[in-house]
Chains A and B, each alone.
Chain A
Amino acid sequence: MQQLNNQSQALSHWLNARKSQWEHLENTLKPTTSRRDREIGDARQLLSGYRALLSDLSLSRRVNGKAMITRYLENLFLKAHEEIYRPSNHPLARLIDLYHWEIPQLMRELKTAIFSAFALFALGIAAGWWLIGSYPDLIGLLASPKMIDHVQKGELWTDGLLNVAPSSVLSLSIAANNITVTLFAFGLGAFYGVGTLYIIGFNGFMLGGIFAFTAAYQLDGRLFAFIIGHGVVELSVIIIAGAMGLQLGEALIRPGTRNRLQAFQETSISAGKVLLAVTPFLLFAGLIEGFVSPDQAFNLPQRAVIGCCSGTIFWLILLFGVPGKSRQQ
């Protein structure tokens, strides 16, 4: 009984002695305290409070087991641990780093996959061109009856696009559609790359088939003029997304020294960065497709200049990065 009383007194003494420090630590960790305004003294206090908490938690686990006080200290420990060990949060600096050196490095790693995706896309175009060129009746597999009807009347389905919707709406809906295709081309790589092979191959096949069909009615030149303005960036992004999807499939099929999950995670994170970097260009391509491509006021050379310039800028940024000073230097 005497021993029990002594133990209880010791516990009471310990609790009363430590309580105020835990409360102080809890207040320091409250989200209302601005992290930016913290002084070096606050950081020192946080560190010393954290160290004391570690020993309190060990003691509480030993003496009290899974009692509520232990749970309280565990929660406090989790919050303090996160505050101390979380990486610094500078979104702008990280974005600059991304475009400055991370993307060129990731693109170099993706080189083989990009060539493979491009080859697959080109193969799809050739197959589509050959199939529809040889069997024009099969166009019904790729184009809607309305589109076919337009072409057979000697006009493109894109001709009256601006009469149907204003450029702003058109740009947004096109950009949304392209972003969805890009995300699918990448995400379907999770099925061991098979989904990506399908998306890239089928998109190439459609493009080749449609070109072959319009060529039969001498409309291929006009279709090319429609596509060239926005197509360089748009198709480049889709091929890059496809390359990332193939990389994802490769990581699952041949994870190397890592296990499959680690390989999947590492590849997804790298690919996610590239995806984040190329998405703004899709919005840009959407603007060209909404404002320039359907507008008859732009002739072929003007469209070609827009397409070539936007494509060159896109590839220069991705391969060599945006000039500037990053945290790596």
Chain B
Amino acid sequence: MMNNTPNKPGSFQDYLCIQSADGMDYQLEIAGMGARTYAFVIDWHIRLLLAISWLAICGLAFFNWEEIRNVFKPGHPGDTGLVLILPTLLIYFLYHPVLEILMAGRTPGKRMTGVRLVDLQGHTPGIGALLLRNVFRLIDSLPGFYFLGLVAVALTGKHQRIGDLAAGLVLVYDNVDKTHSLQQISTLTLHSRLSGDDQTLLLDLLKRWDELASERRILFATQFLSRIGRDIPEASGRHTQEQALKRALKSLLSKS
């Protein structure tokens, strides 16, 4: 297997390029600092919430207020501390290693961001690599706020922090699109002359149609139709225009 990260001409994206033993080459888009930070912030909130929830629920259920207050006094940890503080710290510090192992290189934050960890062959990393990555978290977080890790991400070609470099892991976009069925994809392939990117855009726009605000629907649909050189349907009212635009978009999916 070989791998490198050439930049596609005219794009700012980096790719992990891999050639399989069968001679098939494939690319995975590397996640940059933004996606990494976004995933981390989500995970940080989740683990903090979980840790505080344990502290609050278990504390209020089994101990009185005085005992809980004593836990935080120096030199008075006692058994209350063992029951309250230890699981809290375990939740907080073992969140990343445990979830990355259980969720095959993902955490809830990474899943929401649409990224996952892979090794240099593009495979799900092993337990050892994930543990090693998390050991180096201590170094990446120095001197505070993951400064060293962020510097490493900014300076390395594959946007890896020191832990990723040590374990040979890369954070890539998880482009497995589960929402588009093979049926939809084959219909598009057969009946559409759109490029791959436009096909993805069209399906995403139609999928999110109901979630979008009315003016956004009109804006995005108009922009998309202009982009592919199609006529924009005219209509009097906003609702009628929305309907007409949706019909125009759907017509791109069906046999013309």
Interface residues of A (CB under 8 A from B): 8, 11-12, 15, 19, 22-23, 26, 54, 57-58, 64-72, 74-75, 77-79, 81-82, 85-87, 91, 164-166, 168-169, 172-173, 176, 180, 183-184, 186-188, 190, 261, 264-265, 268-269, 272-273, 275-276
Contact = CB atoms under 8 A, between A and B. Distances in A.
Contact of B77 (A12, A86, A173): A173
B203 interface: yes
Nearest to A79: B176
A86 B123 contact: yes
Interface string B127-160: 1110110011011000000000000000000000
Contact of A77 (B26, B89, B182, B189): B26
A124 B90 CA distance: 34
Contacts of B177: 71-72, 75
Interface string B2-27: 00000000000000000011101010
Contact of B189 (A11, A86, A165, A264): A11
Contact of B75 (A8, A82, A85, A164): A164
11 contacts: A65-B196, A66-B196, A81-B20, A81-B122, A164-B75, A187-B135, A187-B139, A190-B162, A268-B166, A272-B135, A276-B128
Interface string B92-123: 00000000000000000000000000000111
Interface stretch (B38-46, B78-86, B208-216): B78-86
A68 B196 contact: yes
Q: Which of A70, A79, A180, A261 counts the most chain B CB atoms within 10 A?
A: A261
A109 B167 CA distance: 20
Contact of A67 (B77, B122, B132, B196): B196
Nearest to A50: B22
A11 B192 CA distance: 12
A68 B200 contact: yes
Contact of B190 (A8, A70, A188): A8
B241 interface: no
B188 A68 contact: yes
B75 A68 contact: no
A166 B203 contact: no
A19 B82 contact: no
Contacts of A22: 182
B122 A54 contact: no
A264 B166 contact: yes
B123 A15 contact: no
B195 interface: yes
Contacts of B64: none
Main secondary structure of the interface of B (DSSP, over half): helix
Contacts of B176: 75, 78-79
B37 interface: no
B197 interface: yes
A269 B132 contact: yes
B228 to A, nearest CB: 14
A71 B197 CA distance: 10
B189 A64 contact: yes
A172 B82 contact: yes
Contacts, number: 136
Q: Which of B168, B186, B199 counts the most chain A CB atoms within 10 A?
A: B186
B215 to A, nearest CB: 28
Contacts of A273: 128
B168 to A, nearest CB: 5
Contacts of B188: 67-69
B185 A265 contact: no
Contacts of A172: 82, 86
Given A67-B195, A85-B21, A169-B78, A15 B186 contact: yes
A269 B26 CA distance: 26
A81 B127 CA distance: 19
Contacts of A186: 135
A78 B166 CA distance: 24
A265 B195 CA distance: 40
Contacts of A65: 195-196
B175 interface: yes
Contacts of A67: 188-189, 195-196, 199
Nearest to B167: A268
Contacts of A91: 127
A169 B128 contact: no
Contact of B136 (A166, A169, A187): A187
A172 B175 CA distance: 42
Given A19-B186, A68-B200, A166 B123 contact: no
A272 B168 contact: no
Contacts of A12: 190
Contact of B182 (A19, A180, A268): A19
Nearest to A69: B189
B156 to A, nearest CB: 9
B123 A68 contact: no
Given A166-B79, A172-B86, A74 B26 contact: yes
Contacts of B165: 261, 264-265
Contacts of B75: 164-165
B128 A68 contact: no
A165 B81 CA distance: 10
Given A11-B190, A172-B86, A68 B203 contact: yes
B126 interface: yes
